[in-house]
């Protein structure tokens, strides 16, 4: 069984690329750290480091372990933090992941409502696409995820958020499609496209296009839209994306055109089935249920 302490040592050396610098950071002697790491490599049966004259780099096995080690240490720290909450004051941490969507405003309002009465509650946001979010949910690194429908009902419980996003195309205002009010499938046949990497998006767009999206001219893919928008500004291609994520007003060189027929994206907040929540996470779930009900009553 690998000790968490050794994983912390390993991460420190990987970050500092130096035994001496890592030892100073960890407040232990350099020989002690070097011996611990050598024993660690022997225990695993594989070299983790390439020891150069000036710096230490990771082997391919070390790179793989680094990703897993960070996740394990993060999960341990997350668990400890929630055990250390006091009984008199509701505190603790909530870990929420989501993609780029205007629905995060609803999450922000819910967190604001909680912190007005329980200022000791902290929240941590992670940005990524649906594939990233569900992986971290499955590994216990997130409490909740905000994802586009559909949701895997065998693995997750969920609530539908009172928000929908609109699919369309982000383009330059001087592009050949910018004078149209909407975009139809035929308009995209010969255009260089930037598309999201997440699996559910491929399925949605394939249904709208009535053909496999991979049959089109895919110039590139993106994880989060901000950097893709820079590619669009440089006239590399058209980004298929959701509305309201990139500012297209004023002096922006970009504009957004919705699909026709309209393609809406419903959004769910999801969590693992049979999840054991911390006090803070329970509070968040109760508050978001209340806010959804309140919003539905207005409509």
Sketch the domain layout of the chain as residue ranges: 4-82, 89-162+267-298, 164-265
In the prediction, which pLDDT does 199 show?
A: 62
pTM recorded for the entire structure = 0.67
Q: Residue range 123-145: average pLDDT?
A: 90
In the prediction, which pLDDT does 92 show?
A: 83
The answer to whether residue 202 scores a pLDDT higher than 90 is: no
Cα 168 to Cα 283: distance, rounded to the nearest angstrom: 36
Across the chain, mean pLDDT equals 88
In the prediction, which pLDDT does 82 show?
A: 62
pLDDT band at residue 6, thresholds of 50, 70 and 90?
confident
Domains 89-162+267-298 and 164-265 agree in fold: yes
**CATH class belonging to 4-82:** mainly alpha
pLDDT band at residue 299, thresholds of 50, 70 and 90?
low
- Please name the residues in contact with 11: beta carbons below 8 A apart, sequence gap of 6 or more: 66, 69, 70, 73
The two tokens of residue 223 are 């994880």
Question: Do 49 and 58 meet the contact criterion of CB atoms below 8 Å apart?
Answer: yes
**CATH class belonging to 89-162+267-298:** alpha beta
pLDDT in tens, 146-156: 988 878 888 99
Would you list the DSSP string of 184-207? -GGGGTTS-EEEE--HHHHHHHHH
- The CATH number given to 164-265 is 3.40.190.10
Give percent above pLDDT 70 in the chain. 95
Count CA atoms within 13 Å of residue 163 on its CB side.
19
Q: 106-133 burial by CB neighbour count: b if 16+ within 10 A, else e?
A: bbeebbeebeeebeebebeeeebbbbbb
The answer to whether residue 90 scores a pLDDT higher than 70 is: no
Q: Residue range 257-273: average pLDDT?
A: 93
Instruction: From 131, 123, 135, 172, select the one nearest 148 (Cα to Cα).
Output: 131
**CA distance readout (Å), 142 to 93, 132, 196, 271, 284:** 10, 11, 22, 8, 13
* 88-92, 233-237, 264-268: segment of lowest average pLDDT: 88-92
């Amino acid at each position: 069984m690998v000790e968490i302490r050794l994983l912390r040592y390993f991460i420190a050396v990987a970050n500092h690329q130096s035994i001496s610098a890592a030892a100073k950071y960890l407040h232990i002697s350099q020989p002690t750290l070097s011996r611990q790491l050598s024993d660690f490599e022997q225990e695993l049966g594989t070299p983790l480091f390439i020891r150069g004259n000036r710096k230490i780099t990771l082997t391919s096995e070390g790179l793989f372990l680094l990703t897993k080690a960070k996740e394990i240490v993060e999960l341990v720290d997350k668990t400890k933090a929630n055990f250390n909450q006091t009984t008199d004051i509701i505190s603790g941490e909530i870990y929420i992941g989501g993609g780029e969507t205007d629905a995060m405003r609803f999450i922000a309002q819910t967190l604001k409502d909680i912190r007005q009465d329980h200022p000791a509650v902290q929240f941590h946001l992670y940005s990524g696409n649906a594939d990233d979010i569900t992986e971290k949910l499955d590994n216990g690194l997130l409490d909740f995820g905000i994802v586009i429908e559909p949701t895997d009902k065998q693995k997750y419980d969920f609530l539908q958020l009172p928000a929908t996003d609109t699919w369309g195309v982000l383009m330059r205002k001087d592009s050949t499609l910018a004078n149209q009010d909407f975009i139809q499938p035929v308009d995209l046949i010969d255009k260089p496209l930037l598309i999201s990497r997440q699996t559910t998006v491929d399925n949605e767009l394939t249904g709208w296009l009535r053909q496999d999206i991979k049959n089109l001219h895919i110039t590139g893919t993106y994880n989060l839209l901000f950097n893709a928008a820079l590619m669009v500004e440089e006239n590399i291609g058209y980004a298929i994306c959701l509305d309201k994520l990139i500012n297209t007003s004023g002096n922006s060189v970009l504009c957004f055109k919705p699909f026709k027929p309209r393609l809406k994206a419903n959004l769910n907040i999801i969590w693992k089935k049979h999840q054991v929540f911390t006090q803070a996470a329970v509070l968040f779930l109760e508050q978001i249920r209340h806010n959804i009900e309140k919003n539905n009553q207005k409509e």
